[in-house]
């Protein structure tokens, strides 16, 4: 994937990982708030309804009592005894304003006494299913001129109640609308605040309904015992306030969840940026460079060449050693791109070296895959052309593993040598090579691996192996380069046993081109070949 789109994808994933939980938490806050406001509206409506029901209970109890006593005594409806009973009922019923006897729409007597000529109640407005009649706006001018009452009448008896009584419910928010109504009638009996009649329609035969109409969160309920219903409506401002309250809690939680998700997303994209992908980017960003380790002639101790060793300076500044990425690159089939890059780097550095020291050589490491196609021949030819170098300026180092696919490798090695370039077998003795198959290759040098050089002068069981290797190289007519020489004793031993060249910290560590050139200049130029 190209870097730009990978970055865009990572950013999109990150933003989504952050945004989605926040959006979800806001949605959740809204849903939660709506539910809790509906619940609140429902509890107000229910409270109003319960007050209405209790009022109705007291009315019917009172009227029943009056009907029963009068029936028993055969008294006239406004006898002293009846009026006294009315008074008694009134006193014991907290919701009743008065209770009395009605004839021809006039209240003849009541718990307030006898009303000579009667008090006009006006026409009946509503009739319930059980035949109870209701007047919603009665004014009893002689008793309380400024107040309107509800008069509920059953048979000839009627109860007078204060209009605001059923809705006298305390609410937490001051502008909650409350109302009572008579089921079957599309009008309110008594109301506080704005009440829309269409809310009552929402009941649609059910006992309760809650909904949001865009401006109010509304609850409508209807009694199962009496002909009475109630409405409560909470204005949208309280809903919004609720949303804010919930959001204050839920959004931070969502944010934390989002951060956690974003971290997971980042971790996953990191994982995706596997080593091959990183190598590819590294190549493009020119994060690879070469160090050169000098190779000395053990007879003269002169620097006759240098091995090019690749280094990777990562974008974060960290240096990655080749044994950490070369095997991964080989596995991912990317080693040839690295080799190509190394050859380009050598082509860039070489002219400066060979111009000053025409006999000097640079060693180039090839991986086993490089030996399996002819591509390397063309690349080497291009290097010879571009770097203005002779074939003697290049030494190819191929590991034993490169010779595993012997038939392919043999031809490629042959072609490299036919360019006039010398070939060395690297890491000799660490792999599976046998003498017989080594014999089948035409080679020029054998590099004695550091692990054998390390044993020189010790009594390790393998310390004699180095002598065998030297013997073998001689019999195959291969010149020798000892690797990893760190002590003077090792140097002496190798020289005494006829090893021609050596490399190691004793002579010089891998160094940048500039340092190599400086060191070479320090030595006497006429001594160079
Ligand atoms: P190698 O080809 O056997 O290279 C020799 C390694 O031994 C180098 O390690 C070098 O720095 C190290 N060395 C040299 N002298 C001494 C010494 O006296 N003491 C110690 N302790 N170490 C010494 P380096 O540079 O880490 O390279 C490791 C391996 O990575 C190389 O082993 C080679 O197989 C591979 N490599 C390096 N550069 C390239 C490259 O450009 N292409 C390919 N295909 N492989 C490379
Ligand atoms: Ca090497
Ligand atoms: Ca080696």
Report pLDDT digits (tens) over 358-414.
999 999 999 989 999 999 999 999 999 987 889 999 999 998 877 777 788 899 999
Contact by Cβ (8 Å): 325, 382: no
Q: Does 363 sit in the ligand 1 pocket, CB within 6 Å?
A: no
Q: How far is the CA of 399 from the centre of ligand 2 (A)?
A: 8
Whose C-alpha lies nearest to ligand 1, atom 20?
484
Q: How far is the CA of 309 from the centre of ligand 1 (A)?
A: 6
Q: Does 505 sit in the ligand 1 pocket, CB within 6 Å?
A: yes
Confidence of residue 433 (pLDDT cuts 50, 70, 90): low
Beta bridge partners of 448: 428, 482
Angle value at C-alpha 51, between 38 and 149, nearest 5 degrees: 115
Contact by Cβ (8 Å): 393, 361: yes
CA–CA distance from 350 to each of 58, 172, 421, 519 (Å)?
113, 88, 15, 16
Mutate which of 290, 309, 509, 512 for ligand 1? The one with the most ligand atoms within 8 Å of its CB, which is 309
Count of other CB atoms within 10 angstroms of residue 446: 24
Q: How far is the CA of 447 from the centre of ligand 3 (A)?
A: 7
Share of the chain above pLDDT 90, in %: 59
Confidence of residue 288 (pLDDT cuts 50, 70, 90): very high
Cα–Cα distance, 297 to 529 (Å, whole number): 11
Q: Kindly list the strands in the beta sheet with 106-110, ordered across the sheet, starting from the edge strand earlier in the chain.
A: 113-120, 106-110, 98-103, 157-162, 148-154, 133-139, 126-127
Answer whether residue 527 shows pLDDT above 50: no
Report pLDDT digits (tens) over 22-51.
788 888 888 888 999 899 999 999 999 999
Q: Does 309 sit in the ligand 1 pocket, CB within 6 Å?
A: yes
Cα–Cα distance, 197 to 86 (Å, whole number): 36
**Residue 506 per-residue DSSP state:** T
Q: Mark the residues whose beta carbon lies below 5 A from ion ligand 3.
A: 426-427, 483
- Give me the mean pLDDT over the 296-320 stretch: 93
Cα–Cα distance, 45 to 208 (Å, whole number): 9
Report pLDDT digits (tens) over 87-140.
999 999 988 999 999 999 999 999 999 999 999 999 999 998 888 999 999 998
Share of the chain above pLDDT 70, in %: 95
Report pLDDT digits (tens) over 318-330.
888 898 899 888 8
Mutate which of 295, 296, 322, 455 for ligand 1? The one with the most ligand atoms within 8 Å of its CB, which is 322
Q: Chain-wide mean pLDDT for the chain?
A: 89
pTM here is 0.56
The pLDDT, as a whole number, for residue 12 is: 80
Count of other CB atoms within 10 angstroms of residue 407: 8
Report pLDDT digits (tens) over 202-260.
988 899 999 999 899 999 999 998 989 999 999 988 888 888 888 888 888 888 888 88
The pLDDT, as a whole number, for residue 341 is: 96
| Tokens read off for 308 | 């090019």
Cα–Cα distance, 181 to 191 (Å, whole number): 9
Whose C-alpha lies nearest to ligand 1, atom 12?
484
């Amino acid at each position: 994937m190209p870097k730009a789109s990978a970055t865009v994808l990572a950013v999109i994933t990150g933003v989504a990982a952050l945004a989605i939980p926040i959006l979800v938490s806001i949605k959740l806050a809204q849903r939660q708030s709506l539910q809790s406001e509906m619940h609140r509206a429902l509890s107000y409506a229910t409270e109003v309804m319960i007050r209405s029901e209790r009022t109705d209970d007291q009315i019917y109890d009172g009227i029943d009592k009056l009907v029963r006593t009068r029936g028993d005594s055969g008294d006239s409806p406004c006898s002293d005894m009846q009026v006294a009973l009315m008074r008694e009922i009134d006193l014991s019923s907290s919701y009743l304003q008065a209770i009395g006897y009605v004839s021809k729409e006039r209240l003849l007597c009541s718990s307030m006494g006898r009303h000579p000529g009667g008090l006009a109640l006006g026409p009946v407005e509503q009739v319930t299913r059980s035949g109870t009649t209701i007047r919603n706006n009665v004014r009893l001018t002689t008793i309380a001129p400024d107040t309107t009452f509800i008069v509920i009448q059953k048979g000839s008896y009627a109860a007078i109640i204060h209009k605001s009584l059923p809705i006298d419910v305390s609410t937490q928010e001051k502008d909650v609308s409350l109302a009572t109504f008579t089921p079957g009638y599309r009008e309110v009996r008594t109301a506080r605040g704005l009440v829309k009649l269409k809310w009552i329609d929402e009941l649609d035969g059910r006992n309760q309904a809650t909904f949001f109409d865009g401006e109010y969160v509304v609850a409508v309920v209807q009694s199962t015992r009496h002909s009475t219903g109630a409405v409560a409506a909470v204005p949208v401002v309280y809903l919004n306030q609720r949303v804010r309250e919930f959001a204050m809690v839920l959004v931070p939680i969502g944010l934390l969840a989002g951060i956690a998700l974003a971290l997971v997303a980042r971790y996953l994209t990191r994982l995706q940026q596997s080593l091959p992908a990183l190598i590819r980017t590294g190549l493009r960003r020119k994060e690879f460079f070469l160090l050169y380790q000098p190779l000395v002639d053990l007879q003269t101790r002169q620097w006759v060449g240098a091995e090019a060793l690749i280094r990777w300076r990562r974008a974060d500044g960290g240096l990655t050693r080749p044994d950490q990425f070369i095997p991964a690159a080989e596995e991912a089939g990317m080693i040839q791109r690295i080799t190509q890059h190394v050859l380009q780097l050598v082509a860039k550095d070489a002219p400066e070296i060979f111009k000053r020291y025409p006999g000097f050589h640079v060693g180039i490491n090839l991986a086993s895959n490089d030996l399996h196609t002819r591509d390397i021949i063309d690349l080497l030819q291009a290097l010879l052309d571009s770097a203005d170098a002779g074939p003697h300026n290049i030494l190819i180092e191929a590991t034993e593993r490169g010779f595993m696919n012997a038939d392919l490798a043999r031809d490629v090695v042959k072609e490299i040598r036919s360019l006039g370039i010398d070939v060395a077998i690297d890491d000799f003795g660490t792999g599976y090579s046998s003498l017989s198959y080594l014999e089948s290759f035409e080679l020029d040098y054998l590099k004695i691996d550091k692990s054998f050089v390390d044993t020189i002068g010790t009594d390790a069981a393998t310390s004699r192996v180095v002598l065998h290797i030297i013997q073998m190289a001689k019999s195959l007519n291969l010149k020798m380069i000892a690797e990893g020489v760190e002590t003077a004793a090792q140097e002496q031993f190798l020289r005494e046993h006829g090893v021609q060249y050596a490399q190691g910290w004793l002579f010089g560590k891998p160094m940048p081109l500039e340092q190599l050139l400086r060191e070479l200049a320090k030595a006497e130029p006429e001594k160079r070949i």
